[in-house]
Amino acid sequence: MAIMTASSSLAFLPVLERIAEETERMSRHGRPADYIPALAACDPRRFGMAVAELDGTVYGVGDWLQPFSTQSITKVFTLALDLAREGDNLWEHVGREPSGNPFNSLVQLEYEHGIPRNPFINAGALVVTDRLQSRTGDAAGELLAFLRAESGNRALDFDKEIAASETAHGDRNAALAHFMASYGNIRNPVPVLLDQYFRQCAIAASCADLALATGFLARHGIRADGTRLLSRSQAKQVNAVMLTCGTYDAAGDFAYRVGLPGKSGVGGGIIAVVPGRCTLCVWSPGLDERGNSVAGVAALDRFTTLTGLSVF
């Protein structure tokens, strides 16, 4: 695997090279997500990893420039965009606690009166997308514009095949949305919300794109152009929820092994934040039973072990 860089700085190159070599040698475990047919054909042997420093310097290894389906990773950016607009009022409609259940579970909603446990399970992400839709009229479009600006990649776009596949197999998400609507926690018509949500999850981006786009969380709320998206306190809130809820019911194990705020997606990607230092994205489509990339978690574990960078 060759390593490339956008800068002459060599700070992270030896670490990435070592991780790449170890990942190449180890047997690949896990299976691509098969409940979304368009993802099922992904090769679980693919692997890419990128690190972006605060100034936009980005390093990569393996398939770091290969676009993949971002899926639930986008929930972080939608949360930030809505939190920037409505502030703490958002937390009246979605919680901040780990769920302890699978990401698409309906179990907790009934006895918690239609208030999702956190913004990163599917029910919570639907609420956040719904609220951003009410404020912008095009939540998915607002998200795409943000990712293009922060990554510097104007070619980022929706993957229509993935969006269509999710729409055709989206009954559980529809059930979640209708159930929350019955409690008055969804404002927009459910078909409109689902269209926005499926498009949001179907954005294709590379490890380089996502590492760069996540940079505002390492810069305590400051965007790539120097303007402020979130207050320092709000950036801390997003990072905290990522740490406790970003990898679903495996969040405790992820915090134990990696020690960074992170957010996974069933496309095989994981983003992670080292506040004040850098951001990362790793991609490998083979998932464990909880929906997290097997090689991705292992690579992030090695990164924090080799560099000593963590929030602990």
For residue 293, what is the DSSP state?
Answer: B
Instruction: Give Cα 45 to chain centroid, integer Å.
Output: 21
Dihedral angle over CA of 61, 65, 66, 69, nearest 10? 100
* Residues tagged active-site: 72, 75, 197, 248, 266
Render 21-63 in DSSP notation, one character per residue.
HHHHHSPP--B---SSHHHHTS-TT--EEEEEETTS-EEEEES
- The CA distance from 267 to 286, in Å, is 9
For the stretch 108-115, contacts whose Cβ atoms lie closer than 8 Å and that sit 24 or more positions apart, written own/partner, are 109/176, 109/179, 109/180, 110/179, 113/183, 114/179, 114/180, 114/182, 114/183, 114/184, 114/185, 115/183, 115/185
